Amino acid sequence: PDINQVLIKIRRGRLFPTGIFKLLLGLKKINYVRVIALGVTQPYRKVGIEAFFYAEIIQKAMDKKIAGGEASWILENNEMMNKGLKNLNATIYKRYRIFEKVL
């Protein structure tokens, strides 16, 4: 779940004394998810496990009436992850890059 939907409504970011109640009550109203990390180890790549992961995530989201989601922190050159998301008709709205400089 994207807990930021709830945290943004808590004034000044303080959980105490009343913010904790807003957090606990707001958890039931979350309708958006963030998938921060999803990966398959090398020996199991390209055998369909990725598709199973995507299908399972989508099915669980639909069961919980989730309106949308975000697959975050995927590097621009991560072709396997980007290809899978492209096959799901996902929209790219951010690009993540790592730059390197010799010091």
Indicate the domain borders of the chain: 1-30, 31-103
Cis peptide before 17 (omega within 30 of 0): yes
Q: What is the model's pTM?
A: 0.66
Task: Write down the pLDDT at residue 102.
Answer: 95
pLDDT in tens, 46-100: 888 888 888 898 899 899 899 888 887 888 888 888 888 888 888 888 888 889 9
pLDDT digits (tens, 9 = 90+) for 21-35: 888 888 888 888 888
Look at residue 2 in the predicted model and tell me its pLDDT: 79
pLDDT at 15 over 80: yes
Distance between CA atoms of 99 and 59, rounded to whole angstroms?
Answer: 36
